[in-house]
């Protein structure tokens, strides 16, 4: 899915991205209109409100509800899973470390365990961490081997991930409200007390003891007054966006054989694709050999926080899908009978905002230290780095209370964001946020004051992997 290089003492995760000439869209206006004040009806009240039903939000809602909290989950689409389902990010990045140890567990492990073998594909557990050349060669072509190591990086059926995510939420007792856009936090004396949402019923409010911003772009915490940063390195992919798609009726074994056994012909094929289309992408394997996933081309220079940019990326991505379809059917082995199966209903955003918090995860923390407030463990980007201890402070806003911010918009530097934005890490931080929110709501304490020992105990009881806090722990 990309290459990793050192640059200026920092590690950048790179993959091909495409700078394009911006389209001429409508210019902004300096005019304003006055919106009359209105009284907003309270739709409901709860212990924990989760805004956003992506990986982090779903994990948070289930974890909190399992501890007895009354949980409401607002989701703007008609399904759960976010980019892992509606965004067709069906390749799940590494959940095992370089030794093969399964470190992203808890909610993530349970959810994937509900998928039967016909709905998920990837290396068997016995091969995680293997450096056997034949296994590495095979799984490298299938997005599950990196740095000469086989990893736990499955691909899965997005419809069944939607179904199992929904089932877990309902089984836990989460109250789901679909087709509802979390529009504005309710802030009282520096404390978030819920959220106003927009729907077919107009503006309504949900009051909550603790609110979880799982929007992915920090929409709630930004509007509540929390500090954030939005820098990305122009040389890596993390500021890029695109809409993914699936082609059905393909023979991925034939295509992978072409790629592996005739590398010069494959390079020529890719060069001709770039020459014709400009922005050109190769497919990724899915959970079935007759379905190909295109997770690009990744378009650079756009902002996930600007509606005109989001619109232009959608238009360009869908035009590129049609161009890829024609080119692949004409030139790619295994694609002669391909058909367009699905374009993602959700745009693929990698980065919008990152929280400014005292517990920010930084590149300096890749040295094997164990955070004193650790809530989970992430695999590192390369075998030369130790596993990453994820601190609770990275999801606790510095400037506002009553709010937690798990998911890709957590507090970290741009380099650490390269892996902390991925689906498994969103499950990890969402799981922790749900447990912390339930504890804060039950105790009536600030989210920043949740007892770390009790938080870790509850996370462990729900299957999360944690390092023991020992002499390596830091304040």
pLDDT tens for the chain, 475 residues: list them.
444 444 444 444 555 666 666 666 677 788 999 988 999 999 999 999 999 999 999 999 999 999 999 999 999 999 999 999 999 999 999 999 999 999 999 999 999 999 999 999 999 999 999 999 999 999 999 999 999 999 999 999 999 999 999 999 999 999 999 999 999 999 999 999 999 999 999 999 999 999 999 999 999 999 999 999 987 766 667 778 999 999 999 999 999 999 999 999 999 999 999 999 999 999 999 999 999 999 989 998 899 999 999 999 999 999 999 999 999 999 999 999 999 999 999 999 999 999 999 899 999 999 999 999 999 999 999 999 999 999 999 999 998 999 999 999 999 999 999 999 999 999 999 999 999 999 999 999 999 999 999 999 999 999 999 999 863 444 3
Domain membership flag for residue 192: yes
Report d(CA 9, CA 358) in Å as an integer. 23
Residues 339 and 248 in one domain: yes
Residues 375 and 461 in one domain: yes
Token couple for 170: 């309902």
Domain membership flag for residue 28: no
Residues 320 and 214 in one domain: no
Give the residue among 374, 372, 380 at the shortest CA–CA distance from 472.
372
Which residue, 349, 373, 407, sits at the end of a domain? Answer: 349
Which residue, 310, 326, 349, sits at the end of a domain? Answer: 349
Domain membership flag for residue 194: yes
Residues 216 and 80 in one domain: yes
Q: Judge whether 130 and 150 are in contact, CB under 8 Å.
A: yes
Residues 384 and 433 in one domain: yes
Domain membership flag for residue 21: no
Domain membership flag for residue 35: no
Residues 220 and 265 in one domain: no
Token couple for 466: 């944690």
Q: Judge whether 46 and 197 are in contact, CB under 8 Å.
A: no
Domain membership flag for residue 2: no
Range of the domain at 291: 240-349
Residues 405 and 326 in one domain: no
Which residue, 349, 383, 399, sits at the end of a domain? Answer: 349
Residues 246 and 321 in one domain: yes
Residues 328 and 190 in one domain: no
Residues 442 and 404 in one domain: yes
Residues 288 and 437 in one domain: no
Domain membership flag for residue 184: yes
Residues 66 and 190 in one domain: yes
Domain membership flag for residue 79: yes
∠ CA 43-77-306, nearest 5°, is 100
- Domain containing residue 204: CATH number: 3.50.50.60
pTM metric for this prediction = 0.94
If one counts the domains in the chain, the total is 2
């Amino acid at each position: 899915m990309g290459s990793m290089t050192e640059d200026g003492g920092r590690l950048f995760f790179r993959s091909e991205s495409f700078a394009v000439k911006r389209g001429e869209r409508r210019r902004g206006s300096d005019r304003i209109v006055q919106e009359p004040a209105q009284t907003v009806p309270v739709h409901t009240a709860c212990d924990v409100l989760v805004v956003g039903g992506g990986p982090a939000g779903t994990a948070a809602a289930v974890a909190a509800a399992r501890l007895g909290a009354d949980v409401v989950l607002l989701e703007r689409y008609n399904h759960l899973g976010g980019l892992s389902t509606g965004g067709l990010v069906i390749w799940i990045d590494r959940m095992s470390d370089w030794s093969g140890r399964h470190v992203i567990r808890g909610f993530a492990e349970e959810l994937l365990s509900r998928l039967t073998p016909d709905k998920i594909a990837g290396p068997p557990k016995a091969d995680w961490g293997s450096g056997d050349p034949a296994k590495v060669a095979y799984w490298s072509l299938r997005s599950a081997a990196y740095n000469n190591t086989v990893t736990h990086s499955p691909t899965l059926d997005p419809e069944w991930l939607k179904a199992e995510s929904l089932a877990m939420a309902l089984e836990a007792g989460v109250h789901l409200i679909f087709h509802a856009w979390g529009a504005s936090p309710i802030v009282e004396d520096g404390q978030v007390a819920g959220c106003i949402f927009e729907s077919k019923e107009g503006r309504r409010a949900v009051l909550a003891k603790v609110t979880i911003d799982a929007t992915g772009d920090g929409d709630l915490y930004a509007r509540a007054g929390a500090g954030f940063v939005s820098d990305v390195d122009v040389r890596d992919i993390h500021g890029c966006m695109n809409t993914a798609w699936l082609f059905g009726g393909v023979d991925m074994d034939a295509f992978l054989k072409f790629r592996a056994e005739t590398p010069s012909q494959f390079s020529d094929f890719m060069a001709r694709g770039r020459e014709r289309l400009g922005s050109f992408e190769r497919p990724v394997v899915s959970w079935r050999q007759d379905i190909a996933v295109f997770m690009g081309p990744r378009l650079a220079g756009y902002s996930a926080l600007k509606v005109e940019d989001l619109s232009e990326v959608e238009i360009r991505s869908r035009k590129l899908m049609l161009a890829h379809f024609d080119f692949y059917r004409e030139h790619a082995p295994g694609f002669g009978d391909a058909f367009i199966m699905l374009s993602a209903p959700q745009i693929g955003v990698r980065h919008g905002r990152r929280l400014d918090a005292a517990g920010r995860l930084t590149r300096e923390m890749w040295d094997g230290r164990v955070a004193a407030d650790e809530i989970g463990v992430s695999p590192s980007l390369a075998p030369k780095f130790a596993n990453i201890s994820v601190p609770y402070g990275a999801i606790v806003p510095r400037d506002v209370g009553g709010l937690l911010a798990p998911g890709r918009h957590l507090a970290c530097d741009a380099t650490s964001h390269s892996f902390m934005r991925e689906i498994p890490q969103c499950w990890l931080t969402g799981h922790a946020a749900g447990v912390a929110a339930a504890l804060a709501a039950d105790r009536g304490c600030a989210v920043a004051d949740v007892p770390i020992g009790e938080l870790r105990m509850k996370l462990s009881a729900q299957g999360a992997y944690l390092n023991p806090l020992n002499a390596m722990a830091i304040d």
